[in-house]
Structure formats: C-alpha cells, structure tokens
Amino acid sequence: MLELKNVSFSADGKEILKNINLVIENEKFVVMTGPNGGGKSSLAKIIAGIQKPDSGQILLDGKDITDWSITKRANSGISFAFQQPVRFKGVTVKDLITLASGKKMSTISVCQYLSEVGLCAKDYIDREINGSLSGGELKRIEIATVMARKTKLTLFDEPEAGIDLWSFKNLIDVFEKMHAEVRGSILIISHQERILNIADQIVVISGGQVSQVGTKEEVLPGLFGVDLGCKYFKEV
Ligand SMILES: Nc1ncnc2c1ncn2[C@@H]1O[C@H](COP(=O)(O)OP(=O)(O)OP(=O)(O)O)[C@@H](O)[C@H]1O
C-alpha cells in the first residue's frame, strides 16, 4: 500500500501540490485525472522519487520512503513508465526487456511481451534502442519493459500519448492483463474515457489538490459536462 500524507511541493516559487493525502491500496487499478496543469505529473514524479516534496511523507507498506532515491524506490517495487525508454548504446530490445525482468529470459518470452504491445517480435527483438525507432515503437517497448518488471506499483503518465497508430483497444487489454497477472497496483494518469472506465478508483487532481476520490460510478458522472479544460473522452 502506498500512502501520501500532507505532501506539498513547490517549484520556481510556485505552489504546485498542496497538502496531498492519498492512499493507493494493493492490487488496485487507479486512474488519476483532472485539468491540465493540475499537478498529476508532479505527483507521479514525487511517488517515483524523481522530485522531492517540500513537506509531507510517502509510505510504502508502512515504511517511510520520502528520502529514498529513485533507484532505492525502484528496487523496492515502484516502476515509472517514462514517455520513452532510456537509451544505451549497443543495448537491444531483447537486452532491455531481459534487464527489466531481472532474470534470464528465452527469446520466446521476450517475443511474448513484444507481441502483447502490438509489435511483430521478430522485427524488433535484435534492434538497438536508438533514434531509428519511431516514437510509438519506443513507447510500446517502454510498456513491454514495465510489464516484464512486474513491480508492486507501476506508474504510467499518459500512456496513450503517441500510440495512435496502435489500436487503443490493445492498450486497454495490456493494462487489464497486467492488473490480473502481476497482482500489483497500477496508477495511470489519463484523460481517456476507456481507461477511466476500467479503474477501480479514480482520483481527480485539480489546482494542486485531490478534489475527488471514488469509484467510476461516483466520479465519472461529475466529470461529464464539466469543462475542466482538458481532453476528456476524446478518442485516440
Ligand atoms: N519544475 C517546475 N518548475 C515550474 N513549474 C512547474 C514545474 N513542474 C511543474 N510545474 C508547473 O506545475 C503545474 C502542474 O504541472 P504538472 O505537469 O504536474 O500538471 P499535470 O496535471 O500533469 O498537467 P497535464 O494534464 O497538462 O499533463 C503546471 O502549472 C506546471 O507548469
């Protein structure tokens, strides 16, 4: 279980997150949404350890991880899916997925992850992670890498961005499968109706605060018809 207690964060003299209190229960599929600039990405970065809060506490299974580095948090089971995978010269797609899984992997197992994110495995497995891969391909490889990691808490920041050539339905299937198989919690930042619809819990972040938390039945009706200045329910 991840718990945020009175977390506040400022940058460049601007108060970005104000007294955030939030609990992400084990094995829950949580979608964080809200208007642009509300503070969602900042909150995800604070959970992953990329940014440090000015005050407040972050607890993982009751342990205070507020001062832990990104690496220590990653080793304790928090994964953050970046917009694109980190590139290292000479590292192939197969190397990256094997590294993420932390164990020896057969070519067939690596291929399965690639197929799940809609990539024809044989065309990609030996390719180097570099600028020759398109943005959408890199994005899918990053999602496959996070799937192979199988961590306690996986954070995705707008995973739908940049994958418009890939069937959006496949992305939903990937998340549902991950949720069923990994038995970890998934926290996704998204404005997409179909992602909001598969959430166990929706958290609305607005003006740097948690403005609403509840099931989709409780939260979604309130989002309809409200102009929050964001791209609700737009199809990819
Ligand atoms: N390092 C920083 N320095 C200054 N301002 C920042 C910094 N990081 C974030 N902000 C500001 O904080 C606010 C919240 O940004 P954040 O990216 O967390 O919002 P968001 O809810 O993820 O937005 P979006 O839906 O547009 O992705 C924005 O106004 C942003 O410009």
Which two structure tokens, joined as six digits, stand for 231?
């791209």
Task: Say what the ipTM of the complex is.
Answer: 0.96
For atom 18 of ligand 1, which residue has the closest CA?
39
38 close to ligand 1 (CB < 6 Angstrom): yes
d(CA 203, CA 191): 11
Location of structure tokens 């996986």: 154
The three-point CA angle 34-37-40 to 5° equals: 55
Cα(205) to ligand 1 centroid in Å equals 12
The pLDDT tens digits of the residues spanning 143-176 come to 899 888 888 999 998 888 776 655 677 888 888 8
pLDDT of residue 186: 93
Asked if the model's pLDDT at residue 210 lies above 60, the reply is yes
pLDDT of residue 209: 96
How much is the average pLDDT of 224-233?
49
Bridge partners (DSSP) listed for residue 2:
24, 60
The pLDDT tens digits of the residues spanning 5-45 come to 999 999 999 999 999 999 999 999 999 999 999 999 999 99
Q: Please check whether residue 170 is in contact with residue 2, taking contact to mean a CB–CB distance below 8 angstroms.
A: no
| Residue range(s) in the chain whose domain bears CATH number 3.40.50.300 | 1-77+151-236
> 210: closest CA among 15, 9, 47, 40?
40
Asked if the model's pLDDT at residue 117 lies above 50, the reply is yes
**Residue of 40, 195, 206 best suited for mutating to test ligand 1, as the one with most atoms within 8 Å of CB:** 40
Cα(41) to ligand 1 centroid in Å equals 7
Q: Please check whether residue 204 is in contact with residue 35, taking contact to mean a CB–CB distance below 8 angstroms.
A: no
The pTM (predicted TM-score) of the whole model is: 0.86
Asked if the model's pLDDT at residue 125 lies above 70, the reply is yes
pLDDT of residue 234: 39
231 close to ligand 1 (CB < 6 Angstrom): no
CATH of region 1-77+151-236, choose from 3.90.550.10, 2.60.40.1220, 3.40.50.300, 3.40.1010.10: 3.40.50.300
36 close to ligand 1 (CB < 6 Angstrom): yes
Burial code (b: 16+ CB inside 10 Å, e: under 16) for 40-66 equals bbbbbbbbbbebebeebebebeeeebb
The three-point CA angle 132-171-135 to 5° equals: 20
